[in-house]
Amino acid sequence: MERSQGREGGKGVAGQEPSGGGLRLRREIGLWSAVSLIAGCMIGSGIFMSPQGVLVYMGSPGASLVVWAVCGLLAMLGALCYAELGALIPKSGGEYAYILRIFGSLPAFLVIYTFVLVGRPAAIAAVSLSFAEYAVAPFFPSCSSLPQAVLKSVAAICILLLVLVNCWSSRLATKLMNVCTVAKVFSMLLIMAGGAMVLGQGRASTAFQSAFHNTTQQVGCISMAFYQGLWSFDGWSNLNYVMEELKNPKQNLAWALMIAIPLVTSLYILVNISYLLVLSPKEILSSDAVAVSWGNQVLGAWAWLVPVAVTLSTFGSANGTFFSGSRLCYVAAREGHMPQLLSMVHVRRFTPTPALMFTTAVALALVLPGNFSIIVNFLSFISWIVYGTAISCLLYLRMKKKNLPRPYKVPTVIPVIVLLASLCLVLAPIIDHPQIEFLYIFLFLLSGLPVYFLFVYFRCQPKCLQVVTLHLQLLLEVAPNIKND
């Protein structure tokens, strides 16, 4: 019955396989939209929120700038490895697709269990909270602490607007990303120009006079500083989640990564220098919104431009995370690791509507108790466990599948460096400064084992689930998909 509905609902419409009895997502992402997706996901809340986190853990302005530069280098090396993986395994789903192919069903399920239930929705929640903070800050100019109820309400509205855009049209979501990316670059260029003006006028702060004074020597603190900095670069792997919607993927994936990440890294370092030229380290650490504080000192009556530009920037970043995160849920359901309904596509709009709605529901639930700093540390820890596992897939293919055709290849030393860095980022904070939160993360991962064996391996599914799936399929006007070639 589901197959029949898929054929009737999409008959004669572009995007459907005529003889396949199902729907698929269209290839609508070109090179510059791919660059926009990567840059749009990376430039968001991090550069406007994380400077505080990096500075507080490193203790000095000079050391914090070094961390930002090394984070950019690490993201670039990881992206080069992912470009080769994407060429070898041209499937949507990113790390999930690679781990499923190399290590099998159980490890892949644990990845998807973590990312779909917590990881990606938590990223959306974190970016939406920072969006809310910048959107609300101008209305409470004299408040040292913004009302939490207002912040979380605005964050929820942001998420609901995004699900409407993404359910309506993938092309509309892509255009929104492009527009917001322009706003991001404009806001960062504005901050850089303001810093240059302050330096030219001789009004720069004294932050660089003792740039490396009070730099921390604790390995755990350095790791946490990298977590905060790498959060701002999170998004470099998002294009791998939508490989099946990318035009000419084997070429455009590598080009998009090599254009976007060096550009973003350069902007990040220059923006941080501008912050430190205008604000003292103490002012940065005491500010709820660093960019707004910078604007109040530099732009005067035009200071309102900063929160407007940053609000658009974080909204675009949330949209990019939403776009790629829902595809992860969609691909997992297509492989049988999530309920079948989540793998279905709208019969007219060709968007993964059920996966988008599921991601929305979890993100809204995480907004309620959400705290930006805690979410960042949690996501960074989980992400680098998964990144390291994905890089090990590349090394495995190098050793066991030497004869595979490789349209793109990086030197072996690069994946080795990224794998060692991921091990350091995961183990260093546990060894140097163990916290109960790390135990909770591992317990959550272990809780995926009984879920896997019960619902995936032994396929214990209530009969009522099939009835619910059928009714929701009719209500949402979705049909089963086919895998893109």
Instruction: Give per-residue pLDDT as tens, 228-287.
Output: 888 788 888 888 888 888 888 878 888 999 999 999 999 999 998 998 888 888 888 777
Per-residue confidence band for 121, with pLDDT thresholds at 50, 70 and 90 = confident
- What per-residue confidence (pLDDT) applies to 6? 36
Of all residues in the chain, what percent carry a pLDDT higher than 90? 19
Q: What is the mean pLDDT of residues 101-109?
A: 92
Please give the mean pLDDT across all residues of the chain. Answer: 82
Per-residue confidence band for 138, with pLDDT thresholds at 50, 70 and 90 = confident
Distances (CA, A) of 340 to 1, 24, 67, 452, 483: 14, 15, 43, 15, 14
Cα separation, 478 vs 168, whole angstroms = 13
Strand, coil or helix: 90: coil
pLDDT-wise least confident of 2-11, 17-26, 368-377, 468-477: 2-11
Cα separation, 284 vs 294, whole angstroms = 9
Instruction: Give per-residue pLDDT as tens, 403-455.
Output: 888 878 889 999 999 999 999 888 877 777 777 777 777 888 889 999 999 98
Question: Facing residues of 246 across strands?
Answer: 29
Per-residue confidence band for 77, with pLDDT thresholds at 50, 70 and 90 = very high
With the C-alpha atoms ordered 409, 411, 416, 422, is the resulting torsion angle positive or negative?
Answer: negative
What values do phi and psi take at 385, rounded to 5?
-65, -45
Judge whether residue 22 has pLDDT over 70: no
| Domain ranges (residues) in the chain | 28-448
- CATH number for the domain whose boundaries are 28-448: 1.20.1740.10
Higher pLDDT among residues 344 and 307, named by residue: 344
N-terminal to C-terminal alpha carbon distance within the chain: 25
Instruction: Give per-residue pLDDT as tens, 145-175.
Output: 778 888 889 999 999 999 999 999 888 888 8
Cα separation, 128 vs 138, whole angstroms = 17
Of all residues in the chain, what percent carry a pLDDT higher than 70? 89
Residue where the block lists tokens 């550069």: 47
Amino acid, res. 375: I
Judge whether residue 351 has pLDDT over 70: yes
Judge whether residue 294 has pLDDT over 70: yes
Q: Packing angle between helix 353-367 and helix 148-168, nearest 10 degrees?
A: 170
